[in-house]
Chains A and B, each alone.
Chain A
């Protein structure tokens, strides 16, 4: 795979390049990368998975959140080499336009997004929560998402979306109440 022509000149011979194999959204991907490459850049520039957003680039906003072996991490704060031999899930791995994941569906139904910048990170953090706690309380949702910032929604509808996704995943529609 070509190495980040977008961000840097092809490294010279003297620059150590490492071969990594990462399972990205269930697919084995191999790349020769410089160790200083961040996971977010590998995903975005290298693998063209631009659903992972870069917001602050300083580990504060959570827009770059991906699942690393199932757990949310900030991909702007991990080296891509560290993902060697591990599993990474990005928003593209949740579902595609034709077949949305229940979390994606709920964000759409409940207006859990406005500009959409924070949304991939929000949804992945939400999925990780629901994998562990299938029936979270509102407080648990707010707590789990507290590392993800949203400048638009005021969070209200994001929380609603996650609660609704929880019900969907448990096989009941939100309209059923209970």
Chain B
């Protein structure tokens, strides 16, 4: 399979990249890890006139924490960097748990977290993680930078709200106020498969009480699902069995799964409920022991 013809540019600065996108007038596409875009080009589901390859842009391959604990992931930070990250292992359990579950190890060598958010696949793992964490995307366009909360960034299946001449330069996870806890569980038929169902749970605790909670669901709806109500019942309470069951049931209600080759809708809902319960129970056990 061969993509249709396109002009190829590999700019060396973000400004040049934005300039090229502007000149492309809506017919240009950013190429990051290429692990979603290149297959689409080959299938000719996408036939842009120009590809703006951002792999040569300097200084975007970072992920780091600001002094206040804000985590920033640059547009060229690959899945593999996050999988091996000591920073995440140390400080951000939801991201650390998700990283090894994205695609397969070879795809992870190229694919990026930011590219995954931009791709906005309802089965993408990172969009759920960033949603649960209340993160945002920083976009740069001709008029400078702006911040887009993840809930406004992903606007539907395979749709984001970037303007045609904007590049997503980084994803940002706000600094936690309490102790971050949580996890990511994903059911896949085999390694490298997209989720039959996935759940991202990110909470913060303080003095044994949940002070912030986010729960988001992968692969069980037309888009990433922010299970707001499930998360809300957790806040202000210690993580007991009762509240955990309540949150898990609400998460299952928030899911909008369809029956397909990966499983029936009923089954997927059940998986969501089980996963949310499992993550929260584990977190509950650990916080109890720590307290």
- A residues lining the B interface (CB < 8 Å): 7-8, 15-16, 18, 34-38, 41, 57-60, 62, 65, 68, 71-74, 76-79, 81-82, 125, 143-144, 146-148
Contact = CB atoms under 8 A, between A and B. Distances in A.
* Of listed A72, A77, A125, residue having the most chain B CB within 10 A: A77
A147 B5 contact: no
A42 to B, nearest CB: 12
Contact of B106 (A35, A36, A62): A62
Contact of B192 (A34, A37, A60, A79): A60
B109 A71 contact: yes
B38 A35 contact: no
B2 A74 contact: no
Given A38-B2, A82-B53, A146-B191, A74 B107 contact: yes
Interface residues of B, number: 28
A57 B41 CA distance: 12
B106 A65 contact: yes
A147 B106 contact: yes
Interface string B4-19: 1111101000000000
A73 B39 CA distance: 14
A16 B2 CA distance: 16
A77 B39 contact: yes
Contacts of B191: 146-147
A38 to B, nearest CB: 7
A113 B18 CA distance: 48
A73 B103 CA distance: 13
22 contacts: A18-B8, A35-B7, A59-B38, A59-B107, A62-B106, A71-B109, A73-B110, A74-B106, A76-B42, A77-B35, A79-B34, A79-B53, A82-B34, A82-B53, A82-B55, A125-B105, A143-B105, A146-B104, A146-B191, A147-B105, A147-B107, A147-B191
